[in-house]
Structure 1
């Protein structure tokens, strides 16, 4: 592709970033922008909010790159920083979000684990983004990124029961939304 920069190998980029070379930082940002944005979009409600988390996350990458172990893959380290940044962003803006969904600890069972087959990535992302911030955060941390309820509770400063409750409620809400979509599609076909 004409005009596209030639991106050096990752170790060279990281070495340049450690020297605070702006060109290396820009190339690293460009190389991982799509991946990083996909992570951030899962944790935010709007694209603008995702861009804010992404930029804050890359700032942390550039200032903490000396903590990265080059013997480990870079993407999981980047993902962890982005998730932590999204969690920090949530905690900083929690005053604007409803608090009641973090306090309840009622267990709701969910049985439709495979209800998402055949749905587009964009649709699923938009459905997850309809969840309240607390539900979305716990759902993403647990179901997508593999955090335990103990880890989630520690990161968010909530009880393990609240984490489990938020996950159950998020799953139930997602199930209802997906069930409604399915019912609406059947109704259209039946006409």
Structure 2
């Protein structure tokens, strides 16, 4: 971060502006961390539209709670946690709608990607993960990508540790099957 004349980094100045409700600071923060936050949201949602909704809800929480940000800790870590929690809230609110589509997804584990396994790129891998059922995708992302324990996942999602472990095993199995189809 560039340093200003008063010795504060640009991020500190932006966050201070957000604390004061400055819309220009909020816009700057949104633009600066859009890509990072969107990357987190995409992992936890089924579609880009859902990811944008989670992203916007997450940034609203960031702006509302800007006074709680500890500048001695990593802002990105705090932002990621806000986005993950917002995605989990979104999932809980919409999980009843996902159940019906889970059956369709289970029948159609087909993807639009093609090519040898050694040429799979990041976008294809994200697409494969998004083809997992919502319950499997949540546990997979929380455990494999974000490093939460099964105890923490169970508490976050309101499921047992055994269910978390089972969902992870099934997510890995489904991913393996999808990769074999490539």
TM-score (norm: length of structure 2): 0.84
Alignment pair present for 1:162 and 2:158: no
Cα distance, 1:25 vs. partner?
A: 0.0
Residues 1:24 and 2:39 aligned together? no
TM-score by length of 1: 0.80
Q: Does 1:47 align with 2:48?
A: yes
Aligned in 2, Cα 1:117/1:39: closer, same or farther, shift over 3 Å?
farther
What is the alpha-carbon distance in structure 1 between the residues aligned to residue 66 and residue 20 of structure 2?
Answer: 10
Residue of structure 2 equivalent to 1:134: 135
Residues 174, 79 of structure 1: CA spacing in aligned structure 2 closer, same or farther, 3 A cutoff?
same
Gaps in structure 2 of 5+ consecutive residues: 1-8, 103-116
Q: Which residue of 2 aligns with 1:111?
A: none
Separation in structure 2 between the aligned mates of residue 129 and residue 56 of structure 1, nearest angstrom: 20
Q: Structure 1 regions of 5+ residues with no counterpart?
A: 1-7, 102-115, 182-191
Counterpart-to-counterpart distance in 2, 1:39 and 1:171: 20
What is the distance in 2 between the residues matched to 1:45 and 1:97?
10
Q: Secondary structure at the match of 1:158?
A: coil
In structure 2, the CA distance between the partners of 1:61 and 1:117, relative to structure 1 (3 Å rule), is farther
Aligned length, in residue pairs: 159
The Cα of 1:66 is off from its aligned counterpart by 1.4
State the Cα distance separating 1:97 from its structure 2 match: 2.0
